[in-house]
Amino acid sequence: MLVAQTRLEPRFYTSFATTNCTEVSFVTETIEARELKCSVKIEDLPCHDYYLLRPAVIEVERGDLGYVISHPDTGVFTYDADLKLALDQFFAAFIEQYEFLKANENELSPSLKHDLETFENLIGGC
């Protein structure tokens, strides 16, 4: 499930949600219709091999060259001129980074081990 809050005016916020992560079109249309920097709450992943242990918040920001999607806790980010592609690429990069860290667990620096712990507190599955 995706939930977003978009700042419209100093004291007013709007929220919206979809039933799951695969229903991105409503989210993308709503985001594209607004001025943008917003937080999107993710309650599931579009990947069937993994799931979120707890909701995660990603940031969506629209700039002159397109959309930047980022997860502040893990540092994963992507960008694209098309919002749906940016979101799709974000989810792929998010899982790819987790899998890379997990596969190289015994060779990680202390900083990267901390990054892996952050992912392990977010992601369950394989």
Stretch 94-121: mean pLDDT, rounded?
95
| pLDDT tens digits along 78-102 | 999 988 899 899 999 999 999 999 9
- More confident: 15 or 38: 38
pLDDT higher for 19 or 73?
73
Instruction: Answer for the pair 66, 86: CB distance below 8 angstroms, yes or no.
Output: yes
- Tell me what the pLDDT averaged over the chain comes to: 77
Strands (E) in 19-83, as ranges, are 37-42, 50-52, 56-63, 66-70, 77-80
Please report, for residues 23, 36, 53, 72, the alpha-carbon distance to residue 29 in angstroms, rounded to integers and kept in the order given.
11, 12, 28, 24
pTM: 0.72
Q: Determine the pLDDT at residue 10.
A: 31
With 60 as the cut, is the pLDDT of residue 69 above it? yes
Give yes or no for residue 33 having a pLDDT over 80.
Answer: no
Structural domains of the chain, count: 1
Question: Is 26 strand, coil or helix?
Answer: helix
Angle of the 110-120 helix axis to the 83-103 helix axis, nearest 10? 120
Q: Say if residue 126's pLDDT is above 70.
A: no
What range does the domain containing 76 cover?
2-125
